[in-house]
Structure 1
Amino acid sequence: MVLIAAAWCRSGEYDEYYSIFLIAGQPRPDWPTGPFTVAVAQKFYHGHASFGQIARDLRHGDVHPPLYFWLLALWRDTFGTALFRLRLLSVLCTMCSLCLVACIARRIGAAPALAVTITLLSYGFAYTGIIARDFALAGAFSLAGVLLLIEAERISKPAWAFAGGIALGAACFTNYLACFTTIAFLGWIATVGWRRKSVWLSSWFGAALFIPAGLWFFLAQKGTRKGQFMPFHLPHALVLLARDQAGAILGALPRYVPSPWSHIVEAALALLLAYFVILIVIRGLPCITDRYRTLVIAGIIAPPLGLFALGIGFDTTPVEMRYLWLGLPYIGLALATALKDRRRTTAFLLAVQSAAIIGLAIAPQTMQPGARTAHAAAKLGTPATLVLIPFGNDGVGIPGPFIAALPHTTHIMVVRAMNQAVLGDTSSYRRVVIARIEVDNTSRALVPALDTLFKTAPCWQSGSARRDIAVFTNLCRNRHG
């Protein structure tokens, strides 16, 4: 219920429309250069791409392996194209992950119900568990691989280890960041079962089956996202990591309160996180048997260490809260062990997490502005009104969710660059609405330029100022009917 409610309430994400357009065969929609209606744009959302086309488009224009997108295409063909229905695939994968967390908790001696609850209410886990991206599927594969490795090590079954390796390899073929945890877990099975070579070699061989295909995609994509992140600087990366790791566990509560109270909340959450880290080190990990303690530690530290290795190797700083999602179930397992018999502390943690999850579902501070801005523009939508949308970096993340939230009769124009031709394209409309969506470098430059263009242009008069939209009236068009 928590996951479905959040998936229903939350507006469309920037990255989700990469998924939608990819499986529709339009990875980079060729929007018309002039005004058009939303109905005309529906072809970009509802097309059908074959597995081969999805693989080719990913290999030549994106940085993701194809397994999730193949499954999403099948899911879309069965259940429909609406974003909420596509999100339900991630919800299903997340439910499987929670079941796997419970099974792993039983194996290592943690409280299953508490481990599942802490994991579910971790902001980063719930967030990546509802959006139409590959995180939830990769997490389910990774947890399935860990459970199979635990069983293979316990009963010395090479076939189970082979299946676990395949699951871990599939996680990597779903999201490349799963390679860090996969390497850690394969190292764990080799360490605890080094005398039983048939077990750990079977797991390694199972995972290795995906290496040729993964390299075929990765090598073709290397360098395709240059400039996405700032260059790597260790102190800055450490600050980002601490902030995002805290947010992944405890949520974005500082965003819900105004300054200066937000700073007080930030400090309180930092102290709370430090307290839980101490609890994990002093009470949680020592209560787990040696062989499984190293497994939990590997699951916790592999994601941040992997991001640091990636940053050093490619001189970038790829630190975001969602990139830490694979470590959250293991933090949940460690906290569930540490909080045993500490009911008040447990209740306080769950209360903080619950407040964060409510914010995830309904707080506009945690959502991207596409749908909200579209609703504001739709209230002014008439046949004589034209809505201008910034193209953004690639014409996907900004126009995608915005256009999807508009009525089909709305007249729109996707603006790629600021020039005088925009005035000619809009001259026949009584009113122009500029969508103030500034979420990437291109849109942050274009939107203010469009505002200035219409404020200084003859015939155009600025209307009431709003946070999400700018409204301009065509005085010359009104004067001449």
Structure 2
Amino acid sequence: MKFHEFKISGKNLTPAKAKPFETITPWAAKLWPLPILLLATLVRLYGSTASAIWCDEGSSLLMSQYSPSLIWIHSAHDVHPPLYFLLLHIWIGAFGDSLFSIRFLSVLTGIGTVGLGMWLVYQVATRHAAIVAGVLMALLPIAVRYSQEVRMYSLMGLWLLGATLALVYWVRKPERHRYLVIYVLLMTASFYTHYFTGLCALSHWAYLTVVRSEKRRLVTLPAWWVANSFIAMLYAPWIPGLIDLLQHLDQLRAGGDIGWIEPITMASLPSTLWQYLTLSDAQNLRWPLYLALPLALVLVTGAVCLRDRSPYKFNVLLAIYAFLPLIVVFVVSWKVPLLVERYLMFSALGLPMILAIAIDQLRRHFRYAAVAMLVTVLTVELVGLHNDYQTDDEQFDKLVNYVNENYQANDRIVVSDLFWYFSYVYYNKTGSVPLLYTPPRADGTSGRPGDYGFGTLVNSDADRVYLDSLEMLPLGQTRVWLVSNSAPPDDFASIPGNWNKVSTLKVGDTQVRLYTLRRQ
């Protein structure tokens, strides 16, 4: 079905309902998604290079520098599957590693996600609803933020919305197996992008257990089981690496790659919904206002589902897609903290689609109420975009550029933590390989990273990169730059007595100190 054809539950609308668009001119009526995609593009491009590369982005860039075969090996030791890193490797080879270029890959997938969201709503509701959904998705703060990062979350959203759209087509015509083929490919791609894809798969299974087609539950159809078997087979090459990773959780925990997520409270659930729409947990608000937005989202979703009289209950699919992953992660997090809003960005995309359908339904009977609801949602989103565009002038790249400008031949650069190390490597223009400070732990064990988690990216260069003690620098060394957190305690607690501090530059929560070394 062409994108401009207008259907609800597989039935063509009457010309009278399509008339407002047809009076524009037929060709213009077909181009209505373009202004929305342009809006999505502008919103994502604006400020996309304003913030400095941070640790996770730096790790993506370091991973992408390996060959495809080594990316497969190293990502098996990392906490994310390899597909995004492979695509980033190809992208950088074609377009370079400028800040604009490396983030533009996520911008593109974010724009594609908006297009798929409009297409999905167009299939399950009306053109008016699809237009509103497109605008709300274009401005959705969490989607904008992670369309501006060198990470896999925007790509994951693209795969999973595409898979959900393919599922809608298949549900309408289960005999059309080509839709399941598309579904298999998109779900497999997403599984190779992020492990939380399993939550979307759970949502699809949950939906199919409640929907019927010709008095049969679609979840029982052999074609559905065969399709999921193919997903499992295509994912099988990655299973040994995943099992190996799970067997080394202690190393990941020791290195801080897992275990850093804060324990949840009862406030975590509503706060996550606030994060989706405003990029703030909103816990500074009075409790009636704090609970108002989450409660409104739940009530609107419930109303949209109850008003769904179609045989396929696609509104229920959107509700499950948006809320079930969050609920599952919230419950599991009482045992093992996993609740991080960016991991669930894909399911947050369901909220603007649900809200758009609700606004469209309200418009038919209470036009002014629909306008008020739309203005309210847009206002909340604009607050979130304002929060997203706020950047600190004192950013890490300023510190690295200071070193680049004042570096002298044979200077050595020592970074105190992996959190800063990956970002430093990206901005470093001196030609000198930065050293990573790895002093022994308090119990005497090695402070070097393990082979799993971030450590996999630097362990192969351990002899060139790790510095267990400042006294181990070569005797002929005359100047050393120390990069660390600016807040106490000092990461470099023990400075050799023959070191003389020349200068200090503090940038945000980091600092760089230049020392000259006197011969003893």
Query: Same fold by TM (over 0.5)?
Result: yes
Match of 2:121 in 1: 105
Corresponding letter in the other structure for 2:232 = I
Provide the rounded CA distance (Å) in 2 between the counterparts of 1:232 and 1:474: 40
Correspondence 1:190-229 to 2 at 5 A: 190-193=209-212, 195=216, 200-212=221-233, 213=236, 214-226=238-250, 227=253, 228-229=257-258
Query: Which deviates the most, 223-232 or 343-352?
Result: 223-232
For 2:358, which of 331, 338, 341 is the aligned residue? 338
Contact 1:166-1:203 within 8 A present in 2 as well: no
For 1:388, which of 385, 398, 414 is the aligned residue? 414
Contact 1:431-1:471 within 8 A present in 2 as well: no
Sort the Cα spacing of 1:420 and 1:199 in 2 relative to 1 into closer, same or farther, 3 A. closer
Q: Deviations over 1:57-103 (max 9, x none)?
A: 222x1132223233332222222233432322222222221111001
Contact 2:315-2:354 within 8 A present in 1 as well: no
Provide the rounded CA distance (Å) in 2 between the counterparts of 1:173 and 1:420: 36
For residue 89 of structure 1, give the secondary structure of its aligned residue in structure 2: helix
Correspondence 1:316-331 to 2 at 5 A: 316-331=336-351
For residue 48 of structure 2, give the secondary structure of its aligned residue in structure 1: helix
Shift of 1:387: 4.2
Match of 1:54 in 2: 71
Contact 2:439-2:468 within 8 A present in 1 as well: no
Match of 2:497 in 1: 457
Sort the Cα spacing of 1:73 and 1:379 in 2 relative to 1 into closer, same or farther, 3 A. closer
For residue 471 of structure 1, give the secondary structure of its aligned residue in structure 2: strand
Contact 1:162-1:202 within 8 A present in 2 as well: no
Correspondence 1:43-442 to 2 at 5 A: 49-50=67-68, 52-59=69-76, 61-109=77-125, 111-159=129-177, 160-193=179-212, 195=216, 200-212=221-233, 213=236, 214-226=238-250, 227=253, 228-230=257-259, 236-252=264-280, 264=284, 270-271=290-291, 273-274=293-294, 276-277=296-297, 279-281=299-301, 283-289=303-309, 291-308=313-330, 310-311=332-333, 315-340=335-360, 341=367, 342-364=370-392, 370-375=396-401, 377-378=403-404, 381-382=407-408, 387-392=413-418, 397-408=419-430, 412-417=434-439, 421-422=469-470, 425=473, 432-437=480-485
Sort the Cα spacing of 1:457 and 1:353 in 2 relative to 1 into closer, same or farther, 3 A. farther
Sort the Cα spacing of 1:388 and 1:348 in 2 relative to 1 into closer, same or farther, 3 A. farther
Contact 1:10-1:360 within 8 A present in 2 as well: no
Contact 1:303-1:323 within 8 A present in 2 as well: no
Shift of 1:276: 3.3
Q: Deviations over 1:90-139 (max 9, x none)?
A: 22222221111001112222612221222232222222223222222221
Which has the higher relative contact order, 1 or 2, with Cα contacts under 8 A spaced 6 or more apart? 1
Provide the rounded CA distance (Å) in 1 between the counterparts of 2:198 and 2:73: 22
Aligned residues: 428
Provide the rounded CA distance (Å) in 1 between the counterparts of 2:377 and 2:307: 20
Provide the rounded CA distance (Å) in 2 between the counterparts of 1:359 and 1:431: 41
Match of 1:9 in 2: 50
Provide the rounded CA distance (Å) in 1 between the counterparts of 2:136 and 2:200: 20
Shift of 1:272: 5.0
For residue 176 of structure 1, give the secondary structure of its aligned residue in structure 2: coil
Corresponding letter in the other structure for 1:62 = D
Contact 1:65-1:175 within 8 A present in 2 as well: yes
Contact 2:187-2:231 within 8 A present in 1 as well: no
Match of 2:447 in 1: none
**% identical equivalent positions:** 15
Q: Determine whether 1:471 maps to 2:513.
A: yes
Provide the rounded CA distance (Å) in 2 between the counterparts of 1:102 and 1:244: 24
Contact 2:413-2:480 within 8 A present in 1 as well: yes
Normalising by the residue count of structure 1, what TM-score does the alignment of the two structures yield? 0.76
Provide the rounded CA distance (Å) in 1 between the counterparts of 2:107 and 2:484: 31
Shift of 1:239: 3.1
Superposed CA RMSD in Å reads: 3.7
Contact 2:301-2:319 within 8 A present in 1 as well: no
Provide the rounded CA distance (Å) in 2 between the counterparts of 1:55 and 1:323: 21
Contact 2:269-2:330 within 8 A present in 1 as well: no
Gaps of 5+ in 2: 1-41, 361-366, 441-466
For residue 473 of structure 2, give the secondary structure of its aligned residue in structure 1: helix
Q: Deviations over 1:386-405 (max 9, x none)?
A: 5431143xxxx421212322
Corresponding letter in the other structure for 1:349 = V
For 1:20, which of 14, 37, 61 is the aligned residue? 61
Contact 2:203-2:325 within 8 A present in 1 as well: no
Match of 1:29 in 2: none
Shift of 1:322: 0.4
For residue 435 of structure 1, give the secondary structure of its aligned residue in structure 2: strand
Normalising by the residue count of structure 2, what TM-score does the alignment of the two structures yield? 0.70
Provide the rounded CA distance (Å) in 1 between the counterparts of 2:481 and 2:309: 62
Sort the Cα spacing of 1:457 and 1:22 in 2 relative to 1 into closer, same or farther, 3 A. same
For residue 436 of structure 1, give the secondary structure of its aligned residue in structure 2: strand
Corresponding letter in the other structure for 1:305 = I
Corresponding letter in the other structure for 1:16 = E
For residue 76 of structure 1, give the secondary structure of its aligned residue in structure 2: helix
Contact 2:264-2:339 within 8 A present in 1 as well: no
Sort the Cα spacing of 1:150 and 1:197 in 2 relative to 1 into closer, same or farther, 3 A. closer
Shift of 1:251: 1.6
Greater helix percent: which structure?
1
Provide the rounded CA distance (Å) in 2 between the counterparts of 1:411 and 1:66: 26
